[in-house]
């Protein structure tokens, strides 16, 4: 298209350089009002002690105190009037949570997609329809139901484990999945081990996460030319060799963006975490988003919440710049 532009007359050229901005105008007017203005507002109130008393008059409120970087310092050093909050721990947990989820979901998705891609399996369509179900259930329902599944007394999970344990002559299981604060593997992370709730949520989120990866991998598998496998078979490559040398490399262009997408989904998995563990026990499974919600909804520390939103923004920007290097999403098509 640039070639054409250069060959056309000058007036047209001037118009064309102006045109993209015209196409962008509606989106940026809307985003300016409902996204960028709120972001700037958050930055402004993050330097104040904005709270319920200031809601009526907002920035004109006489009671509003400008406290400089105090909110940021409080968040990072744990000076907020909030129990059990340690910023570094929440941040590192948030990354750990998102990464470990993706590491489990992507290979599971690829393997199951390959399984479903074997020619001549019975009931393939039924399986495919069933496997997509976790994606379509509202997160509130998923969170609440899994919370109940993990209940120490009534929960389905302990009952299932008890049934299995009794079968082998063991004892009834009464694990406190969501409430126990003692980490089963204390040396797991430099900030200390993670409670049972983390493993419980990993299991529940595994249930939720792999079906999407299967969808993506299935689409990508079907675009791999069959001739490649036939040629490899003629050359005497075994099935596992074909998998590692044909399937895996050719799935990569589809799976990397999907993994990045899955990472950001898990990173900000608000509904699921909020309803399953509520960030507990003792905020040990708190994500940045669930804590931000807590600051606004329950603690009503709007100034601190503003500072926290700015911090989330910076973290998001860093993640975006890194993942953009991988997926090249902003790269020009032309």
Window 239-278: residues binding another protein (CB under 8 A)? 253-254, 256-258, 260-261, 264, 267-268, 270-271, 275
Verify binding: residue 233, another protein, rule CB under 8 A. Answer: no
Count of beta carbons in the 10 Å neighbourhood of residue 312:
19
What is the three-class DSSP state of 185? coil
Q: What angle do CA 276, 281, 282 make, to 5 degrees?
A: 135
Smallest distance, another protein to C-beta of residue 313, A = 6
Bond before 157 cis per omega within 30 degrees: no
228 near 222, Cβ under 8 Å? no
Please give the Cα distance from 255 to 251 (Å, whole number): 6
Q: Which of 192/219 has CB closer to another protein?
A: 219
* CA-wise closest residue to 302 among 311, 312, 289, 292: 292
Please give the Cα distance from 57 to 179 (Å, whole number): 42
Verify binding: residue 14, another protein, rule CB under 8 A. Answer: no
Fill in the per-residue mask, 93 to 112: x = in contact with another protein (CB under 8 A), - = not in contact. -------------------x
Among 10, 11, 60, 125, binds another protein (CB under 8 A): 125
Q: Which of 115/188 has CB closer to another protein?
A: 115
Fill in the per-residue mask, 168 to 207: x = in contact with another protein (CB under 8 A), - = not in contact. ---------------------------------------x
73, two tokens: 């310092």
- Which residues pair with residue 48 across a beta bridge? 66
Among 86, 95, 159, 282, binds another protein (CB under 8 A): 159
Q: Which stretch binds another protein (CB under 8 A): 86-94, 181-189, 242-250, 314-322?
A: 314-322
Smallest distance, another protein to C-beta of residue 234, A = 14
Verify binding: residue 9, another protein, rule CB under 8 A. Answer: no
Q: Which of 42/196 has CB closer to another protein?
A: 42
Among 10, 11, 60, 226, binds another protein (CB under 8 A): 226
Q: Which stretch binds another protein (CB under 8 A): 62-70, 158-166, 180-188, 240-248?
A: 158-166
| DSSP state for residue 331 in the 8-state scheme | S
Please give the Cα distance from 177 to 158 (Å, whole number): 9
Among 88, 103, 160, 185, binds another protein (CB under 8 A): 160
- Kindly identify the residues of this chain, within the stretch 44-63, that bind another protein according to CB under 8 A: 45, 55, 58
Q: Which of 123/168 has CB closer to another protein?
A: 123
Verify binding: residue 320, another protein, rule CB under 8 A. Answer: yes
Among 137, 166, 185, 248, binds another protein (CB under 8 A): 137
Among 9, 11, 21, 171, binds another protein (CB under 8 A): 21
**277-300 as b/e: b if 16+ CB within 10 A:** bbbbbebbbbbbbbbbbbbbeebe
Burial bucket for residue 267 (CB in 10 Å: 0-12, 13-18, 19+): buried
Please give the Cα distance from 156 to 93 (Å, whole number): 27
């Amino acid at each position: 298209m640039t070639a054409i532009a250069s060959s056309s007359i000058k007036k047209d050229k001037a118009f064309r350089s102006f045109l993209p901005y015209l196409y962008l105008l509606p989106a940026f007017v809307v985003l300016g009002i409902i996204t960028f203005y709120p972001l700037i507002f958050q930055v402004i109130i993050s330097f104040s002690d904005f709270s319920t008393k200031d809601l009526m008059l907002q920035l004109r409120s006489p009671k509003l105190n400008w406290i400089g970087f105090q909110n940021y310092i409080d968040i990072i050093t744990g000076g907020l009037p909030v129990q059990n909050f340690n910023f570094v721990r929440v941040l590192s947990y948030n990354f750990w949570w998102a990464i470990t989820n993706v590491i489990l979901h992507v290979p599971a998705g690829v393997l199951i997609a390959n399984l479903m891609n074997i020619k001549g399996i019975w009931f393939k369509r039924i399986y495919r329809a069933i496997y997509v179900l976790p994606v379509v259930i509202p997160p509130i329902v998923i969170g609440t139901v899994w919370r109940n599944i993990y209940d120490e007394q009534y929960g389905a999970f302990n009952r299932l484990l008890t049934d299995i344990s009794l079968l082998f002559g063991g004892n009834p299981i009464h694990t406190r999945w969501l409430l126990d604060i003692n980490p089963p593997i204390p040396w797991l992370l430099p900030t200390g081990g993670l409670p049972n709730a983390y493993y419980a949520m990993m299991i529940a989120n595994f249930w939720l996460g792999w079906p999407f990866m299967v969808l993506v991998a299935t689409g990508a598998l079907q675009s791999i030319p069959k001739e490649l496998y036939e040629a490899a078979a003629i050359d005497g490559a075994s099935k596992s060799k074909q998998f590692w040398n044909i399937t895996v490399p050719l799935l990569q262009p589809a799976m990397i963006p999907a993994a990045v997408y899955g990472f950001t989904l898990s990173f900000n998995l608000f509904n699921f975490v909020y309803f399953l563990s509520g960030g507990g026990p003792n905020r040990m499974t708190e994500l940045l988003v669930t804590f931000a919600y807590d600051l606004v909804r329950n603690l009503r520390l709007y100034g601190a919440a503003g500072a926290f939103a700015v911090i989330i923004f910076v973290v998001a920007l860093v993640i975006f710049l890194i993942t953009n290097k991988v997926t090249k999403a902003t790269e020009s098509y032309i």
